[in-house]
Structure 1
Amino acid sequence: MATQPPANTLPLFYGGLEPLSSNQHANYKSRSAQKAPFLAQTHAVPLTIDEFVASQRFFPIVFSSGENPVPLALMGLNEGVNVFVEEDGSLRGEIYVPAYIRRYPFMLARLRPDAEELSLCFDPGSELVGEFDEGNVLFEDGKPSETTNAILKFCEEFEMAAQRTASFVAELKSMDLLMEGEVSIQPTGSEQPFIYRGFQMVNEEKLRELRGDELRKMNQNGMLPLVMAHLFSMALMRELFGRQVQQGKGPQLPAGAGAAAA
């Protein structure tokens, strides 16, 4: 359900990466998108710990499977299902939009594996950056415009949040608090429950067994509120399941069966 993507692949959503250059892109503009069709069939989106509190009101927060787990906002329980986005990419109601989505089509990336600095890049196939008649100019007199500087600042803040997130997850692993997750949902009228696996979550039993000094340390360094936001958000699994059923996005229930209560 939330498997870690293979290494050495382009990040989620990105079909390509091209460094933004005042020489090659002097006349380029950036335009905002009212819809996100690239999101319509994405069920899990990377999340930073800075977003846990805002996100836990809308999405279950889980951790990807694999050796290097990352936090994910679940927007659907099945591959290719997003209950918060219409097929054309428009949002269904007011929700928190993760920074990973808002960052697209830009991101900071190393142009070479041995490069020390990150460069501002964009996805050339996004149709959001190009020589348009309308939009925000990216360069003025050969220098980055206010728009470009704002984009760069946002991407830099995202990278710093990503580093904090990596440290948080590493600490969870060092404390052996992550375990393979499993959620069983028994819809009314269905003989068999639907079982969801393929993600990791915090082990509540081990969390309760931590020594007082360990819990105090987690509270002082800000980890404990983040863990609780994650655990509280797991109650939304049933609501997510119900949304899928209501929208006809599977799984298929027997005739006469209703969705599980949230």
Structure 2
Amino acid sequence: MATAPQPQLPLFYKDLLPLNSRDHADWKVSSFADAGFLANSHAIPLTVDEFVDAQRNYPIVFTAGDNPLPIALFGLNEGVNTFIDGDGKLQAGVYVPAYIRRYPFILAKLNKDSDDMSLCFDPQAGVVGKTEDGQALFDGDKPTEYTNGVLEFCRRFEESGQRTKSFVEELGKLDILMDGEIAITRNDMPDKPFVYRGFQMVDENKLRELDAETTERLNKNGMMMLIHAHLFSMNLMRTLFERQSAQGKVPTPDSGTPAVPNATA
């Protein structure tokens, strides 16, 4: 079977294979028994279409560097996910980012000289293969309704990724992103604050200083609502810290929050 080009695999993905009726005619996909594949992920890529839903449960920040990416924080330290229980189950009732729901499928370019993208999957995910149970991927040489649904979901995700890219580029043009720093003090350690860095956030002072014309434009095109969703979500940083503390997962003070490696929207 041909393997899709993978110079740098996205978060979660360990391998990629293009899905096709020749090699996978009798393959099926089953549900994940648990959410173990994201148990050690403290930050998940997020699209702008999800800001309003995600800000109810997670702080939304932007990765550091020249090409920032919005992420939902599931924990404040690398490898810490406060929303996964001891059985590997994701907490019920919280918003599940589309990046998680897409896995193990993804649209990927098979030819670096072409913009065409093919539906691929991670064979190491353990849920796609020749099994008795599960959703059939093909009916003869035709994709099933399930597979067409997966393809459409991945297409919409890519489109949302483009909107996210445009949103972040506009933030850059407005020059309203700044390096973030959050200091949280525990009652039992008042003189040793826990300081989290390594992310970006919208500078509220610069946001307030935007001229009336720019502010009106941001209101009309919906960007201001997204910016406010991000800013409102920052109030959950302390809540997330308290979740981590209650789970015994808070390290020593002055621990930075690193950006997400190899994550793509």
C-alpha spacing 1:218/1:106, structure 2 compared with 1 (3 Å): same
- How do residues 196-211 of structure 1 correspond to structure 2 at under 5 angstroms? 196-211=196-211
Give the drift of 1:8. 4.2
SS at match of 1:193: strand
The answer to whether the 8 A contact 2:194-2:252 is kept is no
Give the drift of 1:16. 0.5
The answer to whether the 8 A contact 1:40-1:87 is kept is no
User: CA–CA distance in 2 between the matches of 1:66 and 1:113?
Assistant: 25
Aligned to 1:229: 229
Give unpaired runs (5+ residues) of structure 2: 1-5, 254-265
Q: What number of residue pairs does the alignment pair up?
A: 247
User: CA–CA distance in 2 between the matches of 1:66 and 1:91?
Assistant: 30
Q: Percent identity?
A: 55
Deviations 1:178-210 (A, max 9, x none): 111000101112121110000000010000000
- How do residues 15-94 of structure 1 correspond to structure 2 at under 5 angstroms? 15-94=14-93
Aligned to 2:219: 219
SS at match of 1:95: coil
Deviations 1:45-102 (A, max 9, x none): 0000000000000000000011111100000000000000124420123210000000
The alignment yields a C-alpha RMSD, in angstroms, of: 1.3
The answer to whether the 8 A contact 2:104-2:125 is kept is yes
Aligned to 2:259: none
- How do residues 1-262 of structure 1 correspond to structure 2 at under 5 angstroms? 8-190=7-189, 191-251=191-251
**TM-score, normalising length: structure 2:** 0.91
The answer to whether the 8 A contact 1:40-1:88 is kept is no
Q: Which letter maps to 1:217? A: R
User: CA–CA distance in 1 between the matches of 2:86 and 2:203?
Assistant: 36
Aligned to 2:261: none
SS at match of 1:23: helix
User: CA–CA distance in 2 between the matches of 1:237 and 1:244?
Assistant: 11
SS at match of 1:229: helix
The answer to whether the 8 A contact 2:42-2:79 is kept is yes
User: CA–CA distance in 2 between the matches of 1:180 and 1:59?
Assistant: 19
Higher mean displacement: 236-245 or 183-192 = 183-192
The answer to whether the 8 A contact 1:244-1:251 is kept is no
The answer to whether the 8 A contact 1:10-1:16 is kept is yes
**TM-score, normalising length: structure 1:** 0.92
